[in-house]
Amino acid sequence: MRPLIVVNFKTYETAHGVGAERLAIAMEAADLASDSADFVAVVSAFDLAPVVAAAPSLQVWTQHLDPVGFGSNTGWLHPSTAIERGASGTIINHAEHKVSLEHVENLLAQLPEGFPVCACAADLDEARALAALAPTMIAVEPPELIGGDISVTTADPEIVSGTAAIVKSVNPDVRVLCGAGVKNGADVAMALQLNTEGVLLASGVTKAAEPGVVLADLISRL
């Protein structure tokens, strides 16, 4: 399988509303032009439907889902609604929106087979526990490096390679990504050398003056 470049739009001003649609269009162009990696946009639930409409061939995930059924669940994000509105995957347990292992387990049980779920882990112990639940992938992101200028691949390469080893020892079918501070093609190349299968990043793309240039650079060393 090709490496994944997963871009979390978060709630950055440049990546919400119309800005989210513009960024998704740039990502779709990069994805169509690439034969070395697959791009994924992770957007706010508010932006899900318009982003899917703006970039119909791009994989568009939602930033969070809740394991709830239909009924009295005010403010929760229902998986079936997200799928109906075009979500083709989700992240869960991001450092900025932590949930319990039970939440992740219940969500995985509720989602249809083949729906990608990327569970985020802050450290090796959390990665091990999440791997036992068999999400599609696990992204290791040390919280202290998120949004920073130094990539996890440089600041703490051992947690990246260590996560890959632990996850594969628990469940070899779970793909491993890394994130926090990833900004350029050198970071992506190093992530793959450390035995991951892609990256999860945000500000390096969402805050870029020319996102298309950054997206092209991210896969320039693959």
Where in the sequence numbering do the catalytic residues fall? 94, 141
For tokens 């919400």, name the residue. 16
Hey, how many other C-beta atoms are within 10 angstroms of the C-beta on 53? Answer: 13
d(CA 49, CA 161): 36
Q: Which two tokens stand for residue 78?
A: 């229902």
Contact 51, 82 (CB under 8 A): no
Q: How crowded is the C-beta side of 4, counted as CA atoms within 13 Å?
A: 29
* Residue 72 zone, left/alpha/beta (φ > 0; ψ -120 to 50; rest): beta
